[in-house]
Structure 1
Amino acid sequence: MLLRKYMSLLGIGSAKIDLVLSKESYTPGELIKGYFFLKGGTIEQQLKRIDCDFVRIREAGEEEAILDSTTILTSTLLQSEESNQIPFSFKLPSELLPSGSETTYRFKTRLHFKEGVKSIDQDLIQIV
């Protein structure tokens, strides 16, 4: 049991997060709906917060800009192998440029624990 705890602190067998969206393509100004899917690891872990950034990446200049950010503070105890869902909604800005070879958009999600390595997820979306 102690070995599993220390492995979890290093990120091996720790809880994971996945942002699940209803679709992949959106228009500027559209409301995105989905949920954060939490999956417990090999031991119970105390959650601290969930950060989700909406990011634009411009390939030519290798520029990454955070356009908006959301933080959910929590003190939930996620049991071993437990699954949980937290609703997610986000209204896209109306002045977004369409996705293409030069510009991409994504959500970068991070699950922070009271102890241990954070879990990271990235979800690419298309703006049409």
Structure 2
Amino acid sequence: MILRKYMSLLGVGSANIDLILPKESYQRGEVINGYFTITGGTIEQQLKRIDCDLVMHDHATRQKEVIDTTTILSSKLIQSDECNHISFSFMLPEKLSASSEEISYHFRTRMTFNEGVESKDLDIIHVV
């Protein structure tokens, strides 16, 4: 048991998060409704927070810019091998540039625990 706890602190067998979105393409100003799937690891872990950033990547300048962030604070205990769903809602800004060869968008999700490493996820979307 102690070995499993230390392995999860290093990220091995840690809980995972995945943002599930209903589609890939969205209009400017559209509300995106999806959910996070949280799957427990080999031991129980205390969830601290979930941060989800909308990131714009300008491939021409190689710069990334965080457009907006959604944060969910929680003290939920994630049991080993448990599966949970948490609702996600995000309104795209009206003034976003459309996706192109130079501009792309993605959601970068981080799940932080009281102890252990963060679980991360990345989901690409297209803005039309």
TM-score interval, normalised by the smaller of the two chains? over 0.9
Using the TM superposition, give the Cα deviation of residue 100 of structure 1 relative to its aligned residue in structure 2, in angstroms: 1.2
- Tell me the equivalent position of 2:122: 122
Using the TM superposition, give the Cα deviation of residue 70 of structure 1 relative to its aligned residue in structure 2, in angstroms: 1.1
> One-letter code of the match for 1:82?
E
Cα separation, 1, equivalents of 2:114 and 2:79:
14
- Tell me the equivalent position of 2:13: 13
> One-letter code of the match for 1:10?
L
Q: Deviations over 1:52-108 (max 9, x none)?
A: 111100011111111101111100000000000000011101111111110000100
Using the TM superposition, give the Cα deviation of residue 126 of structure 1 relative to its aligned residue in structure 2, in angstroms: 0.4
TM-score relative to the length of structure 1: 0.98
Unaligned runs of 5+ residues in structure 2 are none
Provide the secondary structure at the position in 2 that maps to 1:51.
strand
- Tell me the equivalent position of 2:100: 100
Provide the secondary structure at the position in 2 that maps to 1:8.
helix
CA contact (8 A) 2:107 2:122 kept: yes
> One-letter code of the match for 1:41?
G
- Tell me the equivalent position of 1:70: 70
- Tell me the equivalent position of 2:43: 43
> One-letter code of the match for 2:86?
I
> One-letter code of the match for 1:124?
I
- Tell me the equivalent position of 1:54: 54
> Which aligned segments of 4 or more residues in structure 1 are displaced greater than 4 angstroms?
none
